[in-house]
Amino acid sequence: MTDRVEISLQVNGVRHSLSIRPWRTLLEVLREELALTGTKRSCGEGQCGACTVLVDGNAVNACMYLALEALGRDVRTIEGPAQGDAALDAIQRSFVDKGAVQCGFCTPGMVMATRALLQDNPLPDEDAIREALVGHLCRCTGYVQIVEAIQDAAAKLAGCAERAHE
């Protein structure tokens, strides 16, 4: 009898076959098995948002999400833009341009939460942005620059979408 299971995960558009213990979290598998360290380990309790990834387009705390739950789902991490995600690239650029990156530890989770928000609400108002950031801790910025970065990214992406329909 073995305490490992064979799984296949789709992460950033790439299929990975792994042998893991069934109680491993998605965060552990991403960081330790796939070397995708952009997703940060912090509180381990789903309270800080540093480990936020997208699963089927929804923001989830990878520290609280079992890797087995991701079977058959599309997982996206902060490394996803390397795979050509133009929206994440625009979000990241806005975070840099607006000074919303300070120490950078919370940034990957914030960027992924922003991606999920803008998929559902392309032009969110400030209240919607702040609601989307509930559960994300940043000790450096005070959130003003983060909100501005999300507003900037939304405007840029909406502008791109409008031009695409012309």
In this chain, the answer to whether the domains covering 5-80 and 81-165 adopt an identical fold is no
Q: Which CATH superfamily is domain 5-80 in?
A: Beta-grasp domain (3.10.20.30)
User: Pseudo-torsion of CA 84, 113, 110, 144, nearest 10°?
Assistant: 120
Q: Give which of 68, 69, 71, 94 is closest to 81, Cα–Cα.
A: 94
Q: What's this model's pTM, rounded to 2 decimal places?
A: 0.89
Residue 31 CA to residue 41 CA, distance in Å, equals 9
**Taking the domains of the chain in order of start, what are their residue ranges?**
5-80, 81-165
Name the CATH code of domain 81-165 (choices 1.10.357.140, 1.10.150.120, 3.40.50.10140, 1.25.10.10): 1.10.150.120
pLDDT tens-digit series, residues 28-49: 999 999 999 999 999 999 999 9
What pLDDT does residue 88 have?
Answer: 73
